[in-house]
Structure 1
Amino acid sequence: MAIINLEYYSEVLGMNRNVKVIYPEASKVKGITESDIPVLYLLHGMSGNENSWLSRSGIDRLVRKTNVAIVMPSTDLGFYVNTTYGMNYFDATAIELPKVIHNFFPHLSTKREKNFIAGLSMGGYGAFRLALGTNSFSYAASLSGVLTFNGMEDRFDENAAYWGGIFGNWEQFKGSDNEILSLAERYEGEKPKLFAWCGKQDELYLGNEFAASELKKMNFDLTYETSDGIHEWYYWTKMIERVFEWLPIDYVKEERAI
């Protein structure tokens, strides 16, 4: 297994970007071949960056014996969308980044059935936004994700400069492709399989309950789980292992040191 820091120039954003890649070593992973390796795009939350999953969860240890490559980009505070202030993070992450990755790592699979996406908090929103806004990912997982902004309208007024810069005002946001449930309702083609978890003590819990109910009404294949937990890395580190078990990969659970 190798941990690689890739710096590249993003034509979409007009600036250099960094992405972390965990690349499996064929000789040490049972069943893996040197071509067509499954890929998981793993997204950070607000205040995070491309280093967050590595530094906070020890994810490199979790996948040491597993046949999947992990790509960890950064969207700054841009919510993985094409913002109203002109920074097109959706295009940069959903369209441009996979091309960059496959240019540098040609053995990674380009097949939809072997490309997955997951994230926490803002990244949970991003995982569903990218999966439902493209036809590139067959599985998408959200941990404590912002899957609906219903009941959070006051945030658009309290910090209008920030949220307006990301989504526009509330009226512009509602019904747009940036609203997960509206986007899901319009989705055409083969639906991605979805996974969502949120802690019962998390302020986003009721929003996840509502979003899960609505997605199931739309006949999405959604695995929805809850347990005690708050909006914190302790729970995300535990639940990313659950995501690995859910994904169609040969996940080999690494025993924790005592």
Structure 2
Amino acid sequence: MALLQINFKSEIIQMEHTLNVILPQIGLYEGEKQKQIRERGFPVLYLLHGLSDDHSVWLRHTSIERYALEYGIAVVMPNAGRSFYADMKYGPNYYTYISYEVPHIVRTMLPISSAREDNFIAGLSMGGYGAFMIALRNPEQYEAAASLSGTLDLTPGFSFPEEGYQKMAKQIFGSKLEYIKSDYNLIRLVKIKSMSGEKLPRLYMCCGTGDFVYGVNLRFRAAAMKYGLDLTYEEGPGAHEWSYWDSNLKRILTWMLGKEPQKSLELKVF
């Protein structure tokens, strides 16, 4: 595997930005595989960070590079600050950046597939919300999306006792009413998309029963079931913590790609 850091000037954000990318390598003598990749590109997972994280955090707290090797998939990890992946009311347009500019950058620079069936998106906490929101708003782009302990209903954020959270919610979405009536409201979005006739991505969500976002995950699950979305839901012991998210990453990749990982090569020590 290759680990790449791409520094570039974002046309959308209007400043320098950084992407971390895990990219499978093809051997010198794997001629047929080289041909296949030239024609199609690697399948890709866009992996989104949480509220207090950045584009480096998946590499530092999980075994995502090893998992990507086992599944033969590229992983793109962008940075979206504390934006909830929205085009902010008072701030940068991170929704447009993540949805359109980041895929454009990696597809023009690297052998990344643009085919819907090869494109996946996932995230934790704020990133779980972002993955579902982006995938449902752009169903033609993504085969599947996954949320780990996602903050899937943001309505309570406008009334949190902590003043900082209320201020952040208003900076991102405007008023509570503006959020509720917008496509950033996942519950509303699920209802609208279920009646659109579009082919929607498969969805996977998991959450620990000891997590503070467990309740909002149950609310989203109820809405998804009510409106007939293709949702796989799993829960179990766990909190809002890296040990839970790392242990579920391989399950998500197996579900997304519909295959078990390749047998890992043994590391021999002499």
TM over 0.5, yes or no? yes
Looking at structure 2, the residues matched to 162 and 209 of structure 1 have their Cα atoms a distance apart, in angstroms, of: 24
Aligned to 1:34: 37
Aligned to 2:114: 110
- Residue of structure 2 equivalent to 1:248: 257
Contact 1:57 1:237 in 2 (8 A): yes
Aligned partners of 2:157, 2:115: CA distance in 1, in Å? 37
Q: Does 1:211 align with 2:220?
A: yes
- 3-state DSSP class of the match of 2:92? coil
Match of 2:5 in 1: 5
SS in 1 for 2:257: coil
Q: Does the residue aligned with 2:70 lie in a helix, a strand or coil?
A: coil
Q: Within the alignment, does 1:225 sit opposite 2:230 as a pair?
A: no
1:19 pairs with 2:24: no
SS at match of 1:119: strand
Rg: which structure is higher?
A: 2
Distance 2:128 2:84 in 1: 10
The aligned residue for residue 126 of structure 1 is 130
The match for 1:95 is 100
Q: Is the contact between residue 155 and residue 180 of structure 2 (CA under 8 Å) also seen in structure 1?
A: no
Aligned counterpart in structure 2 of residue 202 of structure 1, from 211, 214, 226: 211
Partner of 2:7: helix, strand, or coil? strand
- Structure 1 residue 67 corresponds to structure 2 residue 77: no
Unaligned stretches of 5+ in structure 1? none
Larger deviation, residues 245-254 vs 186-195: 245-254
Q: Matched residues in 2 for 1:171 and 1:211: separation?
A: 19
Return the match for 2:170 from 161, 164, 174.
164
The answer as to whether partners of 2:91 and 2:172 remain within 8 angstroms in 1 is: no
Percent same amino acid among aligned pairs?
35
* Offset of residue 65 of structure 1: 2.8
Shift in Å at residue 26 of structure 1?
2.5
Following the alignment from structure 2 to structure 1, what is the Cα–Cα distance between the partners of residues 214 and 266? 29
Match of 2:245 among 215, 221, 236: 236
CA deviation after TM superposition for structure 1 residue 254, in Å? 4.5
Q: TM-score, normalised by structure 1?
A: 0.92
Structure 1 residues 170 and 143, CA gap change in structure 2 (3 angstroms): same
- Is the alpha carbon distance of 1:156 and 1:184 closer, same or farther for their aligned partners in structure 2, counting shifts above 3 Å? farther
Partner SS state of residue 69, structure 2: coil
SS in structure 2 opposite 1:70? Answer: strand
Match for residue 182 of structure 1 among 174, 177, 188: 188
Opposite residue 23 of structure 2, the aligned amino acid is: Y
Q: Using the alignment, how far apart are the partners of 2:238 and 2:19 within structure 1?
A: 29
- Deviation per CA, 1:123-148: give whole Å up to 9, x if none: 00000011011131110000000111
Instruction: Please list every run of 5 or more consecutive structure 2 residues that lacks an aligned counterpart in the other structure.
Output: none
Per-residue CA deviations over 1:34-68 (Å, capped at 9, x if unaligned) read 23210100000011111110011021122223221
Distance in structure 2 (CA, Å) of the matches to 1:22 and 1:77:
23
**Letter matched to residue 132 of structure 1:** L
Q: Residue by residue, what CA displacement relative to the aligned partner does 1:203-246 show, whole Å, maximum 9, x if unpaired?
A: 11011011111111111110000001000000000011110110
In the alignment, is the contact (CA less than 8 A) between 1:120 and 1:236 conserved in 2?
yes
- CA contact 1:63–1:253 (8 Å) conserved in 2: no
- Measured after TM superposition, the shift of residue 116 of structure 1 is 0.3
Distance 2:173 2:217 in 1: 20
- Higher-helix-fraction structure: 2
Distance 1:67 1:53 in 2: 17
Per the alignment, do residues 91 and 139 of structure 1 end up closer, same or farther by CA in structure 2, a change over 3 Å counting?
same
Q: Does the 8 A contact of 2:71 with 2:253 survive in 1? A: no
